[in-house]
Structure formats: C-alpha cells, structure tokens
Structure 1
C-alpha cells in the first residue's frame, strides 16, 4: 500500500529522529524526493501558499534532527527555486501583456501580489500554476541530478591538486575524499596517511578501501598526527557541513589535524559538494554536534571509575575557516572567502529561518 503525502512526511521525520537515516548525501536525496511529492500532490495557486507549504515541511524535518544541516540546505535551495520561477513567470506575464498593449501593471500587482498579497493576483496565478508546477519540479529534479553527480564532478579535479610522490594526510572515511584519491591514483603515484579516528575507527575502513585501489596507505594513531605532519605535502578533509563563514562541521579529530597543518604551513583542502554549504553561522558550535555512546571510550565494566568522571564522546569537530586553504566543490575550487557568493547564488536571504 502506497503512503499518502502526509504519511511520507511523518515517515521521513521518524527516520531522522531515530537516526535511521544519517549522512548528508542520504538525507539530501530523501528530502528532495519528498518535496517532489509534496509540491506535485498538494493544491496551491500562489507562491505564498507553496512557500508556506514547503517551509512547514522543512520545519518538521529540521526539528527531527537539527544536526543534519543538509536537510535545511535542500529546503532552502527549493525555496530559492520557487521564488526564481515565480519571478520569471511574472516577468513573462508582464512582457506578454505589454506586447499586447494591455493596461500597464501597477506596482501593487507585481511581486507583492505574486506572493499572494491580493485576491486579484491569486486569480492570475491560477492561470499559470500548472506550467509553474512542472517547471519547479523539473528544477528540483535538476538538483537531484546534481547530487547524483557530485563525486564525479569533484574527483575529476583530483589530478590538478595531487602530484607525483606527494604524501597526503586525511582522517576518517569520507566517500568524496575516497573517490578523489582513487581518481588521482589513476594518474599519479603518491602515499596516503590516514588517522584512524578512534573510537569509531572509520580511518581504518578508509585505509582498507584505498589500499584495495592500489594506493600506498598507512594507518596512524590520532596521537601521531602532529608528529608526522612535517613530512606531509597536503591535508585533504571531508566534511559533514560547511557553514556560512567557511567553518567546517567535520569528523572528530579534524580540528587537531587542521591545526597541526597550519602550524607546519601545510595546505588544507576540503572536498565537498555545494549541497553541504549552509547559510547558518556558528554562533553556538556545540549545537551542530552529536554526542555518541561513550562505552567505546570508557566501558561500563569500569564501574568504580565511571561514577567519578563524566565522559563525552563528540562525533564532530568545528574547524575554523582560518585553517582551510581551499574548497574543492562540484563547481570548481574556491577559497573560504568566496563562499558568500555561493550562498547568495543558491539561497534567498528570506529563507535563513523558516518563519511561517
């Protein structure tokens, strides 16, 4: 039995709350898929109605798991698409009326009416809502195609950034970085040092995958990062999210690695899709973090000790933009100072918060 649109929203909310769906790529694709259903199956005739509808869904999804910033990014991208499509439709309508020598539109019948501020405008919107609906859904599908090609577009830039006989350092397991290094290995011979990322040990999984691809890979304990950094030519990091100031929400241990790299004047390169770029600022860095079960750090069998200490096991680090030299995105390489342009191109300032 197929679920209706409200059940689909509740289903995704439940998965986000229970952390059954995690990771920027997975939640982004699930969010886009849901929005296509919501926009195509609901009745709306004005931009205001559609914006309110998408925002209400966005609020539920974000509240379900605020640390999955990609959900908010995708919602904002779609809101931006809706606004752009309506502006274009309004311009086309105005030009058509002008060429047919119709009575000129007054100021009050432009964008304010377009957003549903008057009954007359709402009637006008009904006439071209069908084409708008298909245009908006097509734009969302274009975003979906962009997401599917993220790794391809990023990894194709690898030969420009990795050179023969270099020593590269990374941490944890990032699919984007993994694909990037594998592509570089098809053109160059180099070594990779992977910090193991205790207590999750995702770095060991990364090292295994790289070694299977024929890349000379060495796993190092997190405590050895600073000691061997002087031998490294470049640090390449993946990230969970990129904030508006260019700071990263990245796997725990990334801050230590980036700080060690800055001390030794080693460039830090971040591989990330633009869907991870958030217009939010890190006013409270801890709000973006997730605390994992501390059992892997201090087991429950240490009963006497557990009663005397408080153990936190944060999953993410905040990495200051001062530690990052270059972002390699699906739209090319950019310094941290350029991110504000990308935010302006992809998000509308009215959508920073989802106020209905």
Structure 2
C-alpha cells in the first residue's frame, strides 16, 4: 500500500516537473486528492505522525515546482485541517473526561472571608494578542475516529475547490453594472466565468489586452464573444490610451501573496499602473486556494522567464549573439494597485487578507521546505 502511495506521489511530481498538468485550479485539485489518498491508505496512529508524513510528501511536491505557490498552499491547508480536527476532538475528549469542566470544591466558611486578588504567573497582554502560538502543541495523543473526520473535512475542502468557479461568479451582479466598460488582460478561467455570469442579466463591453507574445487575450476575446459579450482586443501599447474610457479593471492572478501582492501574467503591472493614474478601481478574481502566507522579500525571484523564441526566433542567430533577450511570463504586482479581491468566500479588501491567512493556515507551515 505504501508502495502504491509512493508511486502516486512520484507520478504527480513527474507531471509537475514536465508541466503535463497546467492551470492553478487543476494543480490544486490533483494535489488535494493525492493528499486525501495518502491520509486514507497509509498507517498512522497519531496526528503528529500524520503531520510529519504530509510534510514529507508535501515537500517533494513543492520541490517539483517551487515557484508555483498553489501546491504549497494546498499542503498547508491540509495540515491546518489535520491540526484543527485533532484539536476539536481532543478538547471534546477532555470535556467528556471532566478534565476541563471539573472545579475544586470551595469550603462554605471561605465564602464569608474577604478574598485577596490572585494573579496568574502568565498575567500579561500576551493572551490578548494570540493563542499561545509559541507553545508547542502535543499531537501524540491518540483520538478516536480521527482519520474518518480528517478525510471528511478534506473531502469538503475538495468540494469547495470544485465549486470555486460558481462561487466566485455568483458575485458578479454586485460588481458589474449595465453599460459599463470592463478591461482585462490575458486569459483567466475565473475572470471568464465571472464575466459570463454577469452577461446573463447585464449588458456591458469588455476591452482585452492581447498580452503579447503569448496572445492569451485572444483566447479570452473568443470565449467572451461566443457568450454574446461585446469584446474588443487591443495591443498592449494601447492600454494607457484606452483606460480613460474604462469603468473598472478585472484581473485574474496565479497567486496572492501575504501582503496582497500578486504573481500575475506579464503586462498586468502596466495595466494596474494605468488604472491608478486614471483612478479606475482594480478587482482581482481568484479562488482562496491561491492565497499564500509567503511575503515577497525578493520580488525578482517571483518572476518567471521563458524562452525568447516567441519574441526573437533562433533562426536569426547572427543577431541574437549580439543582444540579450528577456521574455518574462509572469511578474510581481504591488498590492498598492489592488482595490478588492473577490474569492469563493466573498469580496475582501487587501487589508483583510491577514484574517484569511489566520483562518486557513498555521504559521509553522509557512516555509515547508525548511520544516
């Protein structure tokens, strides 16, 4: 059985390295299903042993695509679910045993005597600021039915991932109004479904930047036109000139970092800077699984560069030898340009992201490869 699990892990690692699986949504779903399988078929007796196993396999998956934060996010979320389920079941067992609710008896004469105030040795403001996160948790205690409840919670999380597009799209009517002009760039399945849902009851226009040299904007334009949406494709150089006619900018992203910054398609930074110059609101549509607890300490390391063949093909060897061609595919976008994030759990301003991070991840899982 363990051999079968190792085979499944190696299979997904190979697909990630060879980019046989593309798209953040598909990668997230495959990773979550694999981790559910590992929890289901492997032998473990305590939550601590399971956490160690998930970290071990998670590090192998993250190492396959270290720049793709989605894989790490799913691993962190599953670890959070394990800890959460264990804590709830452990507290329930303690309450049933009376270890929490039991109180020491008080002598009747003591009630008649004036009591001196007592102070805990931990009396400080620390309890107001956290839940003793620095104290190590004990995950070695066996808990009844822990495996079944963890699998059930992960299954619910997988269902949440599967319904991500519909949950994001259902909020479109609150943000897109009739006769508006929307601008976007590149291709995002989330943005496509968001705009298509709004087009069922609203009539609006969409301007799409083509995002050369990949020209993903053409794919977006074809999909929106097929849905009956008035769509115009413009070259990237015309973004600033057309921005004055736009009501709002709606974008997709590969990842949302802890400070609210984005790892998005190359060309996104240019569009959001033009939007800020014209005071146009920028909305980012993304599933919550793209939210990462990692801060962009090194912004340059977050950008991805691909072969320059699409810009300057290798047949012009005499010219290429004289120049250095850089073809960025994705890059970092500063959070100061973003006004609103729309996730499958609702709309959130950038200042609210820290709450979402606390609710979905544990701080000790932030850097998986260093664990």
- TM-score of the superposed pair, with normalisation by structure 2: 0.88
Give the aligned partner of residue 68 of structure 1.
Answer: 68
Q: 2:226 aligns with which of 212, 216, 223?
A: 212
Contact 1:47/1:114, CA 8 A, preserved across alignment: no
Give the aligned partner of residue 298 of structure 1.
Answer: 312
Contact 2:94/2:100, CA 8 A, preserved across alignment: no
Give the aligned partner of residue 361 of structure 2.
Answer: 347
Q: How far off its partner does 1:103 sit?
A: 12
Normalized per residue, the structure richer in helix is 1
In 1, distance between residues paired with 2:102 and 2:6?
42
Contact 1:273/1:329, CA 8 A, preserved across alignment: yes
Give matches, 1:91-170, under 5 Å: 91-98=91-98, 114-116=138-140, 121=141, 125=142, 128=144, 131-170=145-184
Runs of 4 or more, structure 1, over 4 Å off, are 99-104
Q: How far off its partner does 1:317 sit?
A: 2.0
Contact 2:85/2:150, CA 8 A, preserved across alignment: yes
* 1:78 and 2:71 matched: no
* 1:333 and 2:347 matched: yes
Q: What is the RMSD of the two structures over their aligned residues, measured on CA atoms?
A: 2.0
Give the aligned partner of residue 202 of structure 2.
Answer: 188
* Residues 254 and 100 of structure 1, relative CA distance in 2, 3 Å threshold: closer
Give the aligned partner of residue 107 of structure 1.
Answer: none
Superimposed CA distance per residue, residues 39-97 of structure 1 (whole angstroms, 9 cap, x where no aligned partner)? 11111111211111000111111110012111111100000001111111111111111
Q: 1:267 aligns with which of 277, 281, 284?
A: 281
In 1, distance between residues paired with 2:332 and 2:101?
58
Give matches, 1:1-12, under 5 Å: 4-12=4-12
Superimposed CA distance per residue, residues 260-303 of structure 1 (whole angstroms, 9 cap, x where no aligned partner)? 00011000000011000000011112323322121010111221
Contact 1:291/1:315, CA 8 A, preserved across alignment: yes
Contact 2:272/2:337, CA 8 A, preserved across alignment: yes
In 2, distance between residues paired with 1:17 and 1:158?
35
* Residues 215 and 113 of structure 1, relative CA distance in 2, 3 Å threshold: closer
* 1:321 and 2:335 matched: yes
Q: How far off its partner does 1:313 sit?
A: 1.1
Give 3-state SS (helix, strand or coil) of 1:224's partner: helix
Give 3-state SS (helix, strand or coil) of 2:16's partner: helix
* Residues 89 and 228 of structure 1, relative CA distance in 2, 3 Å threshold: same
* 1:17 and 2:41 matched: no
Give the aligned partner of residue 51 of structure 1.
Answer: 51
- TM-score of the superposed pair, with normalisation by structure 1: 0.92
Contact 2:173/2:198, CA 8 A, preserved across alignment: yes
Q: How far off its partner does 1:20 sit?
A: 1.2
Superimposed CA distance per residue, residues 115-139 of structure 1 (whole angstroms, 9 cap, x where no aligned partner)? 22xxxx4xxx1x62xx110110111
Unaligned runs of 5+ in 1: 105-110
Give 3-state SS (helix, strand or coil) of 2:98's partner: helix
Unaligned runs of 5+ in 2: 105-134
Contact 2:95/2:101, CA 8 A, preserved across alignment: no
Q: How far off its partner does 1:22 sit?
A: 2.2
Q: How far off its partner does 1:309 sit?
A: 1.0
Contact 1:173/1:202, CA 8 A, preserved across alignment: yes
In 2, distance between residues paired with 1:86 and 1:41?
19
Q: How far off its partner does 1:99 sit?
A: 7.9
In 2, distance between residues paired with 1:211 and 1:101?
63
Larger-gyration structure (1/2)? 2
Give 3-state SS (helix, strand or coil) of 2:13's partner: helix
Contact 1:66/1:288, CA 8 A, preserved across alignment: no
Give 3-state SS (helix, strand or coil) of 1:66's partner: coil
In 1, distance between residues paired with 2:74 and 2:90?
24
Tell me the matched-pair count.
Answer: 339
In 1, distance between residues paired with 2:84 and 2:23?
29
Give the aligned partner of residue 119 of structure 2.
Answer: none
